[in-house]
């Protein structure tokens, strides 16, 4: 189990890295935030790179759990409902105070080499989110869940990046339109609404 000091280091580093960037933040600033010495730091992490990976893995675990819950809360228990709720959840995240883009995109941009530990941690997270969409698409009866997962994740990623860079609310409207078209193409029509016939039993 992680120690309290290790958790404090990860939390303090997460705030610093997300706000100021990974390369711009030195270990000394994080140690000052936590109130420990370098000797104490090295009992938990071998170097700054290890701390960066720990931060990204910590955010990854949090987001995978919270994202699943948010789309379930928004979209209900069905897989197709949760898929349709994803853009709503992304919009909710972007609208939060303190949003500075996706920390994993930030990490990948700062460390563009594929063998870099921070880049690899970011790539693991992106694959995990794509796998979540794949699982939902498969449950929803999509004929090609792999393609849908790749395409929808690309739209979600574009919304994160473009909105954080431009701040233009129209960017999200475009993302939503593309996502709606994608979902309509991949998801089977609800029973009773095929061939333009709406269910009149309600």
For residue 84, give both structure tokens: 């349709």
Task: Indicate which CATH number applies to the domain containing 131.
Answer: 1.10.357.10
Distance CA 107, CA 123 (A): 10
pTM of the model: 0.83
Residue 34 lies in a domain: no
Residue 22 lies in a domain: no
* pLDDT given for residue 188 in this prediction: 75
Counting the structural domains of the chain, the total is: 1
Residue 61 lies in a domain: yes
Up-side HSE of residue 138: CA atoms within 13 Å toward CB? 7
pLDDT tens, residue order, the chain (202 aa):
458 999 999 999 999 999 999 999 999 999 999 999 999 999 999 999 999 999 999 999 988 899 999 999 999 999 999 999 999 998 888 888 888 889 999 999 999 999 999 999 999 999 999 999 999 999 999 999 999 999 999 999 998 888 888 878 788 889 999 999 999 999 876 554 444 444 433 3
Cβ atoms within 10 Å of 72's Cβ, excluding its own:
15
Q: What is the DSSP string of 96-162?
A: STT--S-HHHHHHHHS-STTSHHHHHHHHHHHHHHHHHHHHHHHTT-S-HHHHHHHHHHHHHHHHHH
Q: What are phi and psi of 94, to 5 degrees?
A: -65, -35
With contact defined as beta carbons under 8 Å apart, do 99 and 84 qualify?
Answer: no
Residue 84 lies in a domain: yes
Residue 31 lies in a domain: no
Where in the sequence is the domain holding 164, given as residue range(s)? 48-188
Q: Per residue in 60-116, pLDDT tens?
A: 998 889 999 999 999 999 999 999 999 999 888 888 888 888 999 999 999 999 999
Residue 39 lies in a domain: no
Residue 106 lies in a domain: yes
With contact defined as beta carbons under 8 Å apart, do 30 and 71 qualify?
Answer: no
Distance CA 52, CA 27 (A): 11
Residue 52 lies in a domain: yes
Residue reference for tokens 């730091």: 41
Cβ atoms within 10 Å of 51's Cβ, excluding its own:
24
Of 99, 108, 107, 157, the closest CA to residue 130 belongs to 157
* pLDDT given for residue 194 in this prediction: 47
């Amino acid at each position: 189990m992680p120690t309290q000091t290790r958790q404090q280091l990860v939390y303090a580093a997460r705030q610093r890295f997300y706000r100021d960037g990974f390369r711009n933040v030195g270990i000394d600033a994080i140690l000052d935030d936590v109130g420990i010495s370098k000797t104490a730091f090295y009992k938990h992490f071998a170097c700054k790179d290890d701390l960066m990976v720990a931060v990204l893995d910590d955010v990854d675990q949090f987001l995978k759990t919270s994202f699943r819950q948010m789309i379930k809360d928004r979209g209900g228990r069905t897989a197709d409902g949760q898929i349709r709720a994803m853009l709503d959840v992304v919009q909710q995240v972007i609208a939060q105070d303190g949003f500075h883009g996706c920390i994993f995109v930030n990490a990948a941009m700062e460390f563009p080499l594929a063998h870099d530990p921070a880049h690899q941690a970011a790539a693991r997270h992106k694959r995990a989110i794509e796998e979540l969409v794949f699982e939902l698409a498969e449950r929803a009866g999509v004929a090609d869940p792999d393609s849908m997962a790749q395409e929808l994740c690309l739209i979600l990623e574009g919304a994160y990046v473009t909105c954080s860079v431009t701040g233009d609310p129209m960017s999200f409207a475009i993302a939503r339109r593309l996502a709606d078209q994608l979902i309509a193409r991949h998801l089977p029509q609800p029973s009773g609404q095929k061939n333009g016939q709406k269910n009149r039993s309600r």
